[in-house]
């Protein structure tokens, strides 16, 4: 009887293991599938660059009108604004000609209240200007007039460096009266309403462009900027002859890909799981930013939570008993993935997080499975990101008709920087899918702030030279 009981137990455990792996297999991608993602991304990039297909393309390939990198002659004090998530920063950046590759920065971080994110555009930009006024007073520069670079990390159509029409909000922002409007004008109008200071808004910058510029200041081979944090996006230097939306066929211009929307027309449907569909359905922007929702920090925790719900309802986890907290959307924060995977030896960290989620009677086996779920979800995100990046660097290589390309990618974002394995998974994917490209990755030090100031400094240098 004892032997029969053991066999039954082993059989039951084997069935449970197979059931768990079946669920997780939906989140695992083969190299063939990743090559398919790379190919599809390349196709969408070409559609976004072409005038005829641009409007239908999910990857918009927006011109940034950034064409020059710093040459070391820039000098002066510059303000930079950084709006890209729930926090907003104001920075003073001092660039000195005799201190090339060294800039002095001061900054303050301000929260964006939920009511400003989802109220009217006037309320949002009035709040931003209030923060600028507070910062200038904090720096003892009340009423100062300085050149300003505005890092605005949302999809914009630019027809020049100091203008950008907001195409759509992302990352939970819904402020009314902004989409379809020039955000530089909205900022200037709010400054005018404040009646305390005047600023020369020189450049509207995406955070990816700022990241590329900051890293390019250190490494001349840096021609790609990547963000993997709350959201994800890429920019890179494209040949002007391929950019049908901009007149002039010589030289290069930085393109803001806005690749987070890749998949919005079904390009990723055969890689999307029920867990992805559940996250999308309950998001602030259903049907939008498909690629971003499979990769970025704003969504990975919620994907994990949906997987855990599936396991539990099938009796494969937590003895089939759900806690009320685990049923709460957004309760499993993406930072938990980094914490869980950082704890390589003990499972104490996992147990602590599960207790925080109301799962006080979880077992060691439960902790092991939760850790595996986190690993699989993070690995898929990194591989998908790597497949898209492989398409970018391979396009640059083909543009230049090179048998081999050496290039540097500047990277910023908390997911890339803080997750213990994300960067390695992503680097490995790029190596596998773009073997003719020798890619170096360097982390940006405050690309969204310092980069905006550097772009502003370059624009002022070129403007001043043209006025002489």
Bridge partners of 93, per DSSP, are 78, 105
Burial degree of 143 (CB within 10 A; 0-12, 13-18, 19+): exposed
CB burial readout 335-364, b (16+ within 10 A) else e? bbbbbbbebeeebebbbebbeebebeebee
Measured distance CA(292)–CA(260) in Å, rounded? 4
pLDDT of residue 100: 54
Please, is 289 exposed, middle or buried when counting C-beta atoms within 10 Å of its C-beta (0-12, 13-18, 19+)? buried
The total number of structural domains in the chain stands at 1
On whether residue 185 sits in a domain, the answer given is yes
What is the spatial distance between Cα 38 and Cα 388, in angstroms, rounded to a whole number?
5
Q: Catalytic pick from 162, 182, 207, 343?
A: 207
What's the half-sphere exposure (Cβ side, CA atoms, 13 Å) at 232?
27
Q: Is residue 178 part of a domain?
A: yes
Quote the CA–CA distance of 260 and 204 in Å, as a whole number.
Answer: 20
Hey, how many other C-beta atoms are within 10 angstroms of the C-beta on 265?
15
CA-to-CA distance for 254 and 62, rounded, in angstroms?
9
Q: Supply the CATH number for residue 205's domain.
A: 3.30.420.40
Q: Is residue 454 part of a domain?
A: yes
Please report whether residue 97 resides in a domain. Answer: yes
- How is residue 290 written in tokens? 């498909």
> Are 207 and 233 contacting, i.e. CB atoms less than 8 angstroms apart?
yes
In angstroms, the CA 279 to CA 306 distance is: 8
Q: Which of 89, 305, 380, 397 is catalytic?
A: 89
Residue entry with tokens 């029969």: 4
The verdict on whether 153 is a catalytic residue reads: yes
Cβ neighbour number for residue 13 with a 10 Å cutoff: 11
CA–CA dist 206, 213 (Å, integer)? 11
Return the closest-CA partner of residue 325 out of 283, 355, 349: 355
Q: In this structure, is residue 335 part of a structural domain? A: no
| Cβ atoms of 70 and 213 closer than 8 Å | yes
State the pLDDT at residue 1.
47
Q: Would you say how long the chain is, in residues? A: 468
Q: What is the CA radius of gyration of the chain?
A: 24
Coil/strand/helix, residue 280: helix
Active site residue 270: no
CA dihedral 318, 321, 325, 328 (to 10 degrees): 100
pLDDT at 344: 62
Tell me the three state secondary structure of residue 381.
helix
Longest Cα–Cα distance in the chain? 97
For residue 259, tell me if it sits in a domain: no
pLDDT tens for the chain, 468 residues: list them.
Answer: 445 465 555 555 556 666 678 889 999 999 999 999 999 999 999 999 999 999 999 999 999 998 877 777 778 899 999 887 778 899 998 887 765 567 788 999 999 888 888 899 999 999 999 999 999 999 998 888 889 999 888 888 888 899 999 998 887 889 999 999 999 999 999 998 987 778 888 999 888 998 998 888 788 899 999 999 989 999 999 999 999 999 877 889 999 999 999 999 999 999 999 999 999 999 988 999 999 999 999 999 999 999 999 999 998 889 899 899 999 999 999 899 988 988 665 688 888 899 989 988 888 889 999 999 999 999 999 999 999 999 999 999 999 999 999 999 999 999 999 999 999 999 999 999 999 999 999 999 877 788 888 888 888 887 877 654
Catalytic pick among 20, 47, 153, 305:
153
- Range of the structural domain that residue 190 is part of: 64-218+446-460
What order of strands is seen across the sheet that includes strand 200-205?
103-111, 87-95, 76-83, 147-152, 200-205
Q: Which value, to the nearest 10 degrees, does the dihedral of the CA atoms of residues 400, 403, 404, 409 take?
A: 30
Measure the CA–CA gap between 35 and 37, rounded to whole angstroms. Answer: 5
d(CA 162, CA 267): 33
Can you tell me the distance from the alpha carbon of 423 to that of 228, in angstroms, rounded to the nearest whole number? 10
CA neighbours within 13 Å on the CB side: how many for 453?
29
Residue 350, in any domain of the structure:
no
Check residue 349 and give its pLDDT. 83
pLDDT of the residue at 10? 56
CA 389 to chain centre: 13
DSSP state at residue 202? E
Alpha helices in 118-248, H assignment, sequence order:
121-138, 183-194, 207-218
CA–CA distance, 65 with 73 (Å, rounded to integer): 20
CA distance linking residue 69 with residue 462, whole number of Å: 11
User: Is residue 207 among the annotated active site residues?
Assistant: yes
Other Cβ atoms less than 10 A from the Cβ of 415: the count is 27
Query: What integer pLDDT is reported at residue 448 of this predicted model?
Result: 75
The rounded distance, in Å, linking the Cα atoms of 276 and 280 is 6
Q: What is the pLDDT of residue 458?
A: 82
Residue 6 lies in a domain: no
**Nearest-5° angle of CA 40, CA 43, CA 44?**
90
Is residue 260 within 8 Å of residue 168, measured between CB atoms?
A: no
The Cα 227–Cα 348 span in angstroms is 31
């Amino acid at each position: 009887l004892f032997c029969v009981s053991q066999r039954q137990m082993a059989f039951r455990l084997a069935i449970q293991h197979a059931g768990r792996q079946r669920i997780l297999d939906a989140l695992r991608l083969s190299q063939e599938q990743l090559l398919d993602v790379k190919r599809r991304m390349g196709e969408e990039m070409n559609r976004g660059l072409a005038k005829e297909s641009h409007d239908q393309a999910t990857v918009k390939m927006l011109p940034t009108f950034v064409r020059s990198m710093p040459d070391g002659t820039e000098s002066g004090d510059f303000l930079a604004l950084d709006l890209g998530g729930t926090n907003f920063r104001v920075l003073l950046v001092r660039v000195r000609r005799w201190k090339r590759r060294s800039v002095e920065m001061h900054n303050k971080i301000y929260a964006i209240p939920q009511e400003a994110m989802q109220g009217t555009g006037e309320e949002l930009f009035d709040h931003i200007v209030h923060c600028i006024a507070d910062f200038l007073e904090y720096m003892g520069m009340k009423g100062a007039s300085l050149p300003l670079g505005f890092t605005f990390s949302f999809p914009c159509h630019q027809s020049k460096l100091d203008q950008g029409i907001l195409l759509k909000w992302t990352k939970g922002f819904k402020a009314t009266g902004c989409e379809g409007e020039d955000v530089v004008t909205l900022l200037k109008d709010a400054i005018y309403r404040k009646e305390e200071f005047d600023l020369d808004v020189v450049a509207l910058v995406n955070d990816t462009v700022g990241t590329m510029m900051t890293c390019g200041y250190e490494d001349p081979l840096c021609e790609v900027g990547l963000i993997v944090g709350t959201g994800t996006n890429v920019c890179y230097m494209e040949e002007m002859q391929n950019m049908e939306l901009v007149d002039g066929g010589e030289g290069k211009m930085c393109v803001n890909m806005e690749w987070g929307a890749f998949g919005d027309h079904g390009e990723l449907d055969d890689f999307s799981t029920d867990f992805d569909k559940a996250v999308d359905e309950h998001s602030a922007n259903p049907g939008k930013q498909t690629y971003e929702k499979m990769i970025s920090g704003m969504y990975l925790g919620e994907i994990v939570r949906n997987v855990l719900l599936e396991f539990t309802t099938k009796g494969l986890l937590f003895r089939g008993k759900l806690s009320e907290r685990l049923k709460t959307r957004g309760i499993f924060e993406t930072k938990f993935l980094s914490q869980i995977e950082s704890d390589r030896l003990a499972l104490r960290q996992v147990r602590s997080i599960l207790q925080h989620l109301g799962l006080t009677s979880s077992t060691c086996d439960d902790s092991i499975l939760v850790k595996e779920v986190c690993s699989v979800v993070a690995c898929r995100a990194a591989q998908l990101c790597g497949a898209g990046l492989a398409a970018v660097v391979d396009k640059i290589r083909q543009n230049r008709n090179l048998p081999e390309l050496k290039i540097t990618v500047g990277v910023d974002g908390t997911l890339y920087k803080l997750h213990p394995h994300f960067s390695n998974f992503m680097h490995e994917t790029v190596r596998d899918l773009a073997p003719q490209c020798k890619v170096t990755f360097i982390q940006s030090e405050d690309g969204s702030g310092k980069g905006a100031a550097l772009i502003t400094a370059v624009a002022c240098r070129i403007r001043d030279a043209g006025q002489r």
